[in-house]
């Protein structure tokens, strides 16, 4: 089908790849498997043979991701229209490269950027690459649920009053738990100071397609948003998009930054999946999201009635003005088990796998790919878990954590106050030494250390290592959680900046 501007039913990139994949010719270009002829048999058995002829390079018919003039340009224009942007870039290195590009495009070395403490580690990577100076804001914290939410407009305004030379504000919208801050008000505050609002909207790519979902970041006035199309829509893993609107972000700098951060040999399979996911949502998005919301609400209603369990609901408090109800967070602490223990049971014994396990919760992503059978299995698994672990008021792990939190930690670990001694870039390139963990207290961290998922750093380069941060990390390890980013995953040693 010929491309017609604004015709969302077309898939220009998918169609071009299909034509090239079925065209008979002798391939003397990359990739080396030559349209599947050189693929190992185990891999062919796993994936089938049809996918490999479509694994193509930058053929003349397929355009160039970094200087698009043909089918990629057309596909990105369609995506911009579908997602409500003025311009869209396809990303093959995930939202990570998009978040980093956003910082590179708006901040020069030593420029200040205001961002939440519970930012994803990709933003820290962006600080290291750009040399920007972070002004961290504590997110709002709910002690009852032990979950950190968003930053508030009041906090952003106070930070800009104190740092009027800041070049950008960045926020996470929604959080990993589906909590949404007041993006509209924060955009207004940012614009009053003439700077852009950058939004890590990795988990909100579906927002634009149903009125019962939170408003998309762009519709709330954000100048730039980065969305993981693969996380909640139908793209392949690692396929994401970056959207911009207005004139506060230099589009040419975005393009240059993405050339720096993305592979010079982008996967056309990933690019095609973005084109296909866009078309699917533009044509069928509302009914798909209606069904997804129905499944999520059914699960929420059923699970909330199981004794010992509770689900996260919108509280309309500062930092939490809306909830993406397709994100289901279940507290299991009333059963006397940790989220890590419950996750093990559900995954290994009951055939249900969560997206995220934390000390008290399990979080599940319910998307257009889930079925009623999935939801029935999820509800049944929680019913079985509750029967095997009836309500209790005592649990040794949780009692220890409660006492520990009361003694050391009045706020969520993502809210440890940070005024870095060094910029993340300076700390990253400093000479380092490795110390036993007990000797690393109050030394300057040279590592990004975080439980993953969700990938929110507890320690980052340039910060002094607080005792409470170490206690929190060691507690996570003891209770079965995973720590990433550190050289020694056992946390017996830490890498610090040499004095």
Tens digit of each residue's pLDDT (9 = 90 or more) over 166-213: 999 999 999 999 999 999 999 999 999 999 999 999 999 999 999 999
276 with 14: CB under 8 angstroms?
yes
Handedness of CA 52, 53, 57, 63 (dihedral sign): negative
**What residue numbers bound the domain in which 446 lies?**
416-497
How does the average pLDDT of the chain come out, rounded?
90
Q: How does residue 348 score in pLDDT terms, banded at 50, 70 and 90? A: very high
Whether 420 and 278 map to the same domain: the answer is no
Question: pLDDT at position 32, please?
Answer: 95
**Does residue 251 lie in a domain region?**
yes
Last residue of a domain, one of 283, 303, 334: 283
Same domain? 33 vs 179: yes
Residue 164 pLDDT more than 90? yes
pLDDT at 408 over 60: no
CATH number at residue 67: 3.40.640.10
In a domain, 293, yes or no: no
Token pair of 80 as six digits: 């911009």
Question: Could you tell me if residue 27 is inside a domain?
Answer: yes
pTM of the model: 0.92
d(CA 362, CA 176): 11
Sheet holding 356-357, edge to edge: 310-311, 327-331, 361-365, 356-357
User: What does the pLDDT read at residue 400?
Assistant: 46
255, 283, 311: which is the final residue of a domain? Answer: 283
How confident is the model over 272-289, as pLDDT tens digits?
999 999 999 999 999 999
Whether 381 maps to a domain, the answer reads: no
b (16+ CB within 10 A) / e for 195-207 = bbbbbbbbbbbbb
In a domain, 366, yes or no: no
The answer to whether position 6 is within a domain reads: no
Tally of helices (H runs) and strands (E runs) in the chain:
15, 19
Q: Where is the domain boundary, 283, 307, 339? A: 283
Contact (Cβ atoms closer than 8 angstroms) between residue 3 and residue 12: yes
Lowest mean pLDDT among 71-75, 319-323, 358-362: 358-362
| Total number of domains in the chain | 2
Residue 471 token pair: 């206690």
Give the per-residue pLDDT at 477. Answer: 79
**pLDDT tens across 97-138, in order?**
999 999 999 999 999 999 998 888 899 999 999 999 999 888
Residue 133 lies inside a defined structural domain of this protein: yes
Tell me whether residue 334 is in a domain: no
The domain that contains 486 carries what CATH number? Answer: 3.90.100.10
**Cα–Cα distance for residue pair 27/52, rounded to 1 Å:** 13
């Amino acid at each position: 089908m010929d491309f017609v501007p604004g015709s969302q039913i077309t898939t220009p990139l998918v169609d071009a790849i299909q034509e090239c994949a079925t065209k008979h010719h002798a391939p003397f270009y990359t990739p080396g498997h030559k349209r599947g002829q050189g693929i190992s048999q185990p891999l062919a058995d796993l994936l089938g043979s049809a996918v490999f002829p479509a694994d193509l390079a930058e053929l003349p018919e397929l355009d160039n991701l970094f200087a698009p003039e043909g089918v990629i340009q057309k596909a990105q224009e369609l995506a911009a229209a579908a997602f409500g942007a003025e311009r869209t870039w396809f990303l093959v290195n995930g939202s990570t490269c998009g978040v980093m590009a956003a910082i590179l495009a708006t901040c020069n070395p030593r420029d200040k950027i205001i961002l939440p403490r519970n930012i994803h580690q990709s933003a820290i990577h962006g600080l290291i690459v750009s040399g920007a100076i972070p002004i961290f804001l504590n997110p709002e914290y709910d002690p009852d649920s032990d979950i950190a939410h968003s930053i508030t407009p009041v906090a952003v305004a106070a930070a800009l009053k104190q740092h009027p030379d800041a070049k950008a504000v960045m926020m996470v919208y929604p959080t990993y738990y589906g909590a949404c801050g007041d993006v509209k008000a924060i955009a207004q505050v940012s614009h009053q100071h003439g700077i852009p609002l950058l939004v890590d909207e990795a988990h909100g790519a579906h927002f634009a397609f149903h009125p019962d979902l939170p408003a998309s970041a762009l519709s709330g006035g954000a100048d730039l948003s980065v969305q993981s199309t693969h996380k909640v829509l139908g793209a392949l893993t690692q396929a994401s998009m970056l959207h911009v609107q207005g004139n506060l972000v230099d589009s040419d700098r975005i393009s240059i930054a993405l050339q720096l951060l993305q592979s010079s040999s982008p996967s056309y399979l990933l690019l095609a999946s973005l084109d296909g996911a866009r078309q699917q949502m533009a044509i069928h998005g509302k009914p798909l999201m209606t069904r997804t919301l129905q499944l999520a609400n059914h699960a929420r209603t059923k699970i909330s009635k199981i004794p010992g369990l509770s689900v996260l609901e919108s509280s309309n408090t500062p930092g939490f003005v809306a909830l993406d109800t397709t994100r289901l967070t279940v507290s299991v602490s009333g059963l006397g088990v940790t989220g890590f223990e419950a996750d093990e049971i559900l995954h290994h014994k009951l055939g249900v796998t969560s997206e995220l396990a934390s000390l008290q919760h399990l979080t599940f992503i319910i998307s257009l790919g889930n079925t009623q059978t999935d939801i029935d299995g999820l509800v049944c698994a929680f019913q079985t878990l509750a029967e095997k672990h009836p309500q209790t008021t005592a649990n040794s792990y949780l009692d220890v954590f409660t006492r520990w939190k009361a003694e050391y930690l009045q706020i969520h670990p993502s809210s440890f106050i940070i005024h870095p001694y060094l910029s993340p870039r300076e700390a990253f390139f400093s000479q380092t030494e490795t110390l036993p963990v007990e000797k690393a207290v109050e030394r300057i961290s040279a590592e990004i250390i975080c439980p993953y998922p969700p990938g929110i750093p507890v320690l980052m380069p340039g910060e002094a290592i607080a005792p409470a941060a170490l206690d929190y990390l060691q507690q996570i390890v003891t209770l079965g959680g995973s720590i990433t980013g550190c050289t020694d995953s056992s946390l017996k040693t830490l890498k610090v900046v040499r004095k």
